[in-house]
Amino acid sequence: MSLLIKHEQLAFDELYNRYSKPMLNFFFRMLNNDREKAEDLLHDLFLKIIEKPQSFDKSMKFSTWFYTLAGNIVKNEYRKQQIRTNFRSESIIENTNPVEYNNESLDKSIFNQQLSKELIKVDIDTRTMFDLRFNEEMSIKEIACIFDCPEGTVKSRLFYLTKNLSIKLAAFKPEKI
């Protein structure tokens, strides 16, 4: 980041090459698999870094700072979409019915679809924590830094979310032999 502040093009290229793909995947998951919107937010994120590289908090690990920016961009996007998608979200939630599956029909893609439907119902902070922990494989400590909250808060939110998800997705739990 110090090289980027000095307008070194190679520094930006390195950051983009290193972080664009994981960040695109993060946005994609957080935006209900909307690739076009994910690409827009990815560009917005890197544009913010180009415009204000001095905003980098040197007391933080770069990836923590970077995901904090990305999380804030996602929150802002959710706020923008809230009014426009209220009707759509309500109809998705209303039409979500628990489905019974037998062991033969269980499939990872079906599970992921149901998981996505359940995660839509969760507040954005908890959903982001879930994604950072289980998709980005960040530590509890890193997530706590990103959200500027105690580690216990992160643990608690993830515990209750996974407990709730295990109930909602119980049809996917294989029978014990």
**Cα-based torsion angle of the residue sequence 100, 33, 48, 73 in order, rounded to the nearest 10 degrees:** -30
What pLDDT was estimated at residue 153? 92
Output the six-digit token pair for 176. 């014990």
What digits encode the pLDDT tens for the residues 126-171?
988 998 998 888 899 999 988 889 999 999 999 999 999 888 888 7
Please state which of the ranges 3-7, 9-13, 68-72, 104-108 shows the lowest mean pLDDT: 104-108
Distance of CA 149 to the CA centre of its chain: 17
Q: What is the mean pLDDT of residues 15-42?
A: 90
Q: How many CA atoms lie within 13 A of 21 on its CB side?
A: 3
Distance of CA 148 to the CA centre of its chain: 16
Enter the DSSP assignment of 107. -
Question: Whole-model pTM?
Answer: 0.62
The kind and range of the H/E element at 156 are helix 151-168
The domain spans of the chain are 1-95, 99-177
The topology under which CATH files domain 99-177 is Arc Repressor Mutant, subunit A (1.10.10)
What pLDDT was estimated at residue 169? 83
Q: Which amino acid is at 58?
A: K
What pLDDT was estimated at residue 139? 92
The topology under which CATH files domain 1-95 is Rna Polymerase Sigma Factor; Chain: A (1.10.1740)
